[in-house]
Structure 1
């Protein structure tokens, strides 16, 4: 049974978790296809959200006489545009991840080379670090403030 999808800028979770077969090799062609489909579906959902935002902003754009109403609308549009900008960056990362899958260079930590893991990749399909390296990176970030 598929999971429900999360917020548009969050994770895409509208998929059936991958069932690993007996003696199945990590990042087999079936697994790569599973993740590619997750990423393509997620990208499609984000692109549809961009279209909805454009239509909303075109249809709801009004020249209010009251400065408070005008300011409220401008703030709403500003928030939507910031969200779309984050999603634009996410779409770029999704495209890069799809390229990794196409090169069969997906699912391994770019820092230490170990398997990232099926469940971690389902939770964060664009992950490039294993959980240990990600944890260390976050600790370093907190300590240095960078």
Structure 2
């Protein structure tokens, strides 16, 4: 069953959050990116990566089951399209793993949670929703607006 491309990583992130050992959730009442928050996000990122890799292994195992042998051409075309979508999704997840690794590196270097553009703290709510975020919401929106304008030129 192919995954919707728009959902790449979303299910895996939800699963990772539910698998965290602790009931701890970062709060705005604490010092930003204290050791406990860093460990929370590191754990979340590692669990997310493991979940994605597990899904990829399952896809690989399914692909190795053998070639498609649909007798009907329409069924075969449909199956091939489904697999093409699944493989495209896995490719996007491969790229997502690189972003997860980069986020873990930023934690190690003490840069995690701070906007790459403005240097301001990224909100905990944004990091909870997108742990690989590198920009504040405002900086991201500005970046996307500029990108859209340059595409129109």
| TM-score, with length taken from structure 2 | 0.81
Aligned: 1:57 with 2:63: yes
Deviations 1:85-119 (A, max 9, x none): 00000011101111111111111000010001211
Cα deviation for residue 8 of structure 1 reads 4.8
Would you identify which runs of 4 or more consecutive aligned residues in structure 1 move more than 6 Å?
A: none
Distance 2:27 2:71 in 1: 61
More helix, by proportion:
2
Distance 1:67 1:125 in 2: 43
Matched residue, 2:45: 39
Instruction: Pick the aligned partner of 2:102 from 90, 96, 109.
Output: 96
**What are the ranges of 5 or more consecutive residues in structure 2 without an aligned counterpart?**
1-6
User: Residue 46 of structure 1 contacts residue 87 of structure 1 at CA under 8 Å; is this kept in 2?
Assistant: yes
Greater RCO between the two (CA within 8 Å, min separation 6)? Answer: 2
| TM-score, with length taken from structure 1 | 0.84
Cα deviation for residue 9 of structure 1 reads 2.5
Aligned: 1:27 with 2:64: no
Cα deviation for residue 128 of structure 1 reads 0.4
Distance 1:73 1:109 in 2: 43
What are the within-5 Å matches in structure 2 for residues 97-136 of structure 1?
Answer: 97-136=103-142
Matched residue, 1:4: none
